[in-house]
Amino acid sequence: MSAEKPPRRRDAARSRELLIKAAGELLAERGFERTTVRDIGERAGLDQALIARYFGGKSQLFIAVLRAEAGDDVPLDLLHTERVREVLERVGQRGPGPIFQAAVQRPHDTAVERATREELQLRMVAPLKEAFAEQGLDRPQLRAEVATAAFIGVLLGRGAGAFEELAAADPQDLLPLVRRLLSH
């Protein structure tokens, strides 16, 4: 009698979590277009076929990454020092994520483009728009979009190293400058 191996039990929730984590890391490093399902599977230590099984494809996995990063909390607007500090530190540690990349680089996939724009509006623009509207400022949507674009420019310029002093600056030193930029 031969000893059969018991079927391997797959932890679907853990596999999804690993795929989302790996995809988030790779998308932050390379962007959507240069990240392959094979790379995601390898980084997660899982068969790339699980991406199709659990998410339907790379685009849907990307959207799951966006939603996982968003969490359930309504974000503070960028006029709050804590919010600016948190974003500066996170981008400093992990690089600009898919939301910020989408602001300057249009994905070829329309579902991904729509999802990233929605998340950008939800997380960055809408809280600022509300703050500007509460202050009674005219054209709060436009103001919020300009302020968000300026902030993303600071983040990307800092990460790219194109501006030496900006790249080397301590986030604590940037806070008052960024707050002044965003509030005017």
pLDDT in the model for residue 22: 94
CA distances from 122 to 67, 99, 157 (A): 11, 11, 23
State the Cα–Cα distance between residues 116 and 121, nearest whole angstrom: 9
Task: Please give the pLDDT value at position 71.
Answer: 67
Q: Which residues lie below 8 Å from residue 45, measured CB to CB, with a gap of 6+?
A: 18
Amino acid 170 reads D
Q: Is the pLDDT of residue 18 over 90?
A: yes
What pLDDT is recorded for position 30?
A: 81
Looking at per-residue pLDDT, the higher value among 178 and 159 belongs to 178
**Pairwise CA distance, residues 79 & 148, whole Å:** 11
pLDDT at 164: 93
Return the CATH architecture of domain 12-67: Orthogonal Bundle (1.10)
Q: Identify the pLDDT of residue 43.
A: 95
Question: Residue 99: which of 131, 62, 60, 55 has the closest Cα?
Answer: 62
C-alpha 85/C-alpha 158 separation (Å) is: 14
Task: Give residue 3's pLDDT.
Answer: 59
pLDDT higher than 60, residue 2: no
The per-residue pLDDT for 144 is 95
Instruction: Report how far apart, in Å, the C-alpha atoms of 17 and of each of 6, 57, 61, 87, 142 are.
Output: 25, 15, 11, 23, 37
Mean pLDDT computed over 165-173: 91
Q: Of residues 101 and 13, which shows the higher confidence score?
A: 13
Domain residue extents for the chain: 12-67, 73-183
Tell me which residue of 89, 95, 83 sits closest to 127, measured CA to CA: 83
pLDDT digits (tens, 9 = 90+) for 82-108: 888 888 888 887 777 777 777 777 777
pLDDT in tens, 104-150: 777 778 888 888 888 889 888 999 999 999 999 999 999 999 999 99
What pLDDT is attached to residue 147? 94
Tens-digit pLDDT profile for residues 21-70:
999 888 878 878 888 999 999 999 999 999 999 999 988 898 888 888 76
For 5, 61, 85, 88, 171, the CA distances from 177, given in Å and listed in that order, are 63, 36, 12, 13, 10
Q: To 5 degrees, how large is the angle CA 62–CA 68–CA 74?
A: 125
Q: Note the pLDDT of residue 40.
A: 95
Q: Residue 76 pLDDT more than 90? A: no
